[in-house]
């Protein structure tokens, strides 16, 4: 297995290099001038000429690319043209929000989607099956920004004074300013600790601050439901289709003939094999969620990867777009690797060498 992991990591290098090349050149063929995009009416020809020269944007594209690759090899993602600070600092601030949202959204999708798919497959062509698939199709069809506004109105306005009321936006309630866990523990500040401390739930757990844990979790529930609705629908439909096929196999009929209880037949014999294509869907969904949910983050006021990327593209902030795209690409590679390894868990016949 170690050889397999090493081989996959090495084979992913050309993929990541292709991402770097594609993003670098694509952001530069987008129409618009970064100087005028950021300075607006204050941008004169003289100012923009100096702006372009200072940032090296007046050089030939191959020269800019060679310089960018050299910076990457030293771990330098460059500086944001818009925010005037290091891209790595922005990543440390924004990436944890997206990861927290993606993980919780996918947990919600799996927790609801797989049981719905199992019920639909076992009760094939029944009212339960039809109802489940209607819910799944509705989940795919409803636009994210519409669903976001609906749940905000429902849980933050209609149910405002009830015990199930939830905050409509933001990451923490006003007035809550958690300190980083490394200060509480008396540890020195560094990039890794800063990154961990920006996971609001994890940071609060490391300090046993249950008030912030509960508040941060409550702020994630609504966006996680909205983001997880489409993966939930896809997982439910894939689980149903796969399980329907497996339930017709000979070894399942043999298990029933041996007198096993129906729950044992479905859970131990059928579901385990049926989950292989579902694992693939889950991996792809998690990878795409790491790219950030632009609309959801905008609706719920979350400063994550999606919203940052969107704002940076409009502002022609090349360094931020390149840095975030590379990190998202690395996330896809890691998720795909974990997905391949999960195959061996659900099906021992699958071997990795």
Q: pLDDT tens across 235-276, in order?
A: 998 999 898 888 888 888 888 888 878 778 887 778 888 888
User: Are both 258 and 111 inside the same structural domain?
Assistant: yes
Residue 353: per-residue pLDDT: 58
Q: Of 58, 92, 57, 99, which Cα lies nearest the Cα of 77? A: 92
Residue 216: per-residue pLDDT: 92
Q: How many domains does the chain have?
A: 2
DSSP code, position 167: -
What is the C-alpha separation between 59 and 69, in angstroms, rounded?
A: 15
Residue 104: per-residue pLDDT: 92
Q: Confidence band (pLDDT; 50, 70, 90) for 291?
A: low
Q: Confidence band (pLDDT; 50, 70, 90) for 1?
A: low
| Residue 288 scores a pLDDT above 80 | no
Residue 246: per-residue pLDDT: 86
Q: How far is CA 298 from the centre of its chain?
A: 15
| Residue 57 scores a pLDDT above 70 | yes
User: Are both 247 and 295 inside the same structural domain?
Assistant: yes
Residue 74: per-residue pLDDT: 82
Q: Of 330, 314, 102, 84, which Cα lies nearest the Cα of 223? A: 102
Q: Percent of the chain scored above 70 by pLDDT?
A: 95
| Residue 349 scores a pLDDT above 70 | no
Q: Is residue 88 one of the residues assigned to a domain?
A: no
What is the C-alpha separation between 313 and 253, in angstroms, rounded?
A: 56
At 103, which helix (H) or strand (E)? helix 87-122
Residue 18: per-residue pLDDT: 86
Q: Confidence band (pLDDT; 50, 70, 90) for 217?
A: very high
Indicate whether this model's pTM tops 0.95: no
| Residue 180 scores a pLDDT above 80 | yes
Q: Which two tokens stand for residue 36?
A: 């005028």
Task: Name the domain boundary from 23, 39, 73.
Answer: 73
Mean residue pLDDT across the chain: 83
Q: Confidence band (pLDDT; 50, 70, 90) for 173?
A: confident
User: Are both 168 and 27 inside the same structural domain?
Assistant: no
User: Are both 33 and 156 inside the same structural domain?
Assistant: no
Q: Is residue 8 one of the residues assigned to a domain?
A: yes
- For the segment 69-80, the average pLDDT, to the nearest whole number, is 83
What is the C-alpha separation between 26 and 222, in angstroms, rounded?
A: 34
Q: How far is CA 347 from the centre of its chain?
A: 26
User: Are both 275 and 327 inside the same structural domain?
Assistant: yes
What is the C-alpha separation between 179 and 226, in angstroms, rounded?
A: 29
- For the chain, state the CA radius of gyration: 24
Q: Is residue 61 one of the residues assigned to a domain?
A: yes
CATH assignment of the domain containing 160:
1.10.3720.10
- For the segment 121-142, the average pLDDT, to the nearest whole number, is 83
Highest mean pLDDT among 13-17, 66-70, 97-101, 318-322: 97-101
Q: Confidence band (pLDDT; 50, 70, 90) for 215?
A: very high
DSSP state letters, 266-297: IIIIIHHHHHHHHHHHHHHHHHHHHT--HHHH
The residue assigned the tokens 């029944």 is: 126
Domain boundaries, position 38 = 2-73
List % helix, strand, coil for the chain (3-state, nearest 5): 75, 0, 25
Task: Name the domain boundary from 22, 40, 73.
Answer: 73
Q: Is residue 58 one of the residues assigned to a domain?
A: yes
Q: Is residue 89 one of the residues assigned to a domain?
A: no
What is the C-alpha separation between 70 and 351, in angstroms, rounded?
A: 39
- Of residues 90 and 4, which shows the higher confidence score? 90
Q: pLDDT tens across 10-56, in order?
A: 888 888 888 888 888 887 777 767 777 766 667 777 778 877 787 77
Q: Of 288, 283, 291, which Cα lies nearest the Cα of 340? A: 283
Task: Name the domain boundary from 73, 104, 125.
Answer: 73
Q: Report the range of poorest mean pLDDT among 110-114, 197-201, 210-214, 302-306.
A: 302-306
Residue 41: per-residue pLDDT: 67
Strand pairing partners for 86? Answer: 79
């Amino acid at each position: 297995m170690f050889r397999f992991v090493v081989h996959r990591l090495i084979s992913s290098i050309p993929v990541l290099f292709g991402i770097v090349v594609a993003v670098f050149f694509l952001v530069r063929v987008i129409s618009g001038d970064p100087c005028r995009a950021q300075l607006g009416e204050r941008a004169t020809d003289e100012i923009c000429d100096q702006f372009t020269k200072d940032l090296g944007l007046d050089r030939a594209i191959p020269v800019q690319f060679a310089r960018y690759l050299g910076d990457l090899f030293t771990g330098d993602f460059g500086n944001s043209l818009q925010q005037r600070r290091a891209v790595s600092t922005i990543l440390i601030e924004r990436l944890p929000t997206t990861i927290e949202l993606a993980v919780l959204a996918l947990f919600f999708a799996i927790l609801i989607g797989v049981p719905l798919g199992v019920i639909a497959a076992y009760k094939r062509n029944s009212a339960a099956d039809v109802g489940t698939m209607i819910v799944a199709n509705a989940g795919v069809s409803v636009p994210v920004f519409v669903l976001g506004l609906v749940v905000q109105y429902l849980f933050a306005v209609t149910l405002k004074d009830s015990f199930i009321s939830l905050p409509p936006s933001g990451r923490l309630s006003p007035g809550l300013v958690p300190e980083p866990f490394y200060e509480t523990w008396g540890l020195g500040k560094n990039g890794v600790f800063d990154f961990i401390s920006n996971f609001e739930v994890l940071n609060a757990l490391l300090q046993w601050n249950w008030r912030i844990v509960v508040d941060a979790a409550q702020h994630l529930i609504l966006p996680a439901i909205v983001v997880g609705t489409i993966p939930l629908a896809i997982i439910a439909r894939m689980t149903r289709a796969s399980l329907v096929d497996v339930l017709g196999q000979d070894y399942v009929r043999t298990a029933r003939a041996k007198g096993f209880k129906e729950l044992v037949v479905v859970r131990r014999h059928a579901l385990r094999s049926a989950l292989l294509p579902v694992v693939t869907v889950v991996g792809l969904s998690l990878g795409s969620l790491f790219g950030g949910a632009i609309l959801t983050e905008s609706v719920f006021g979350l400063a994550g990867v999606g919203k940052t990327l969107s704002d940076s593209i409009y502002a022609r902030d090349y360094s931020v777009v390149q840095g975030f795209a590379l990190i998202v690409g690395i996330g896809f590679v890691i998720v795909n690797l974990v997905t391949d390894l999960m195959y061996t868990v659900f099906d021992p016949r699958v071997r990795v060498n």
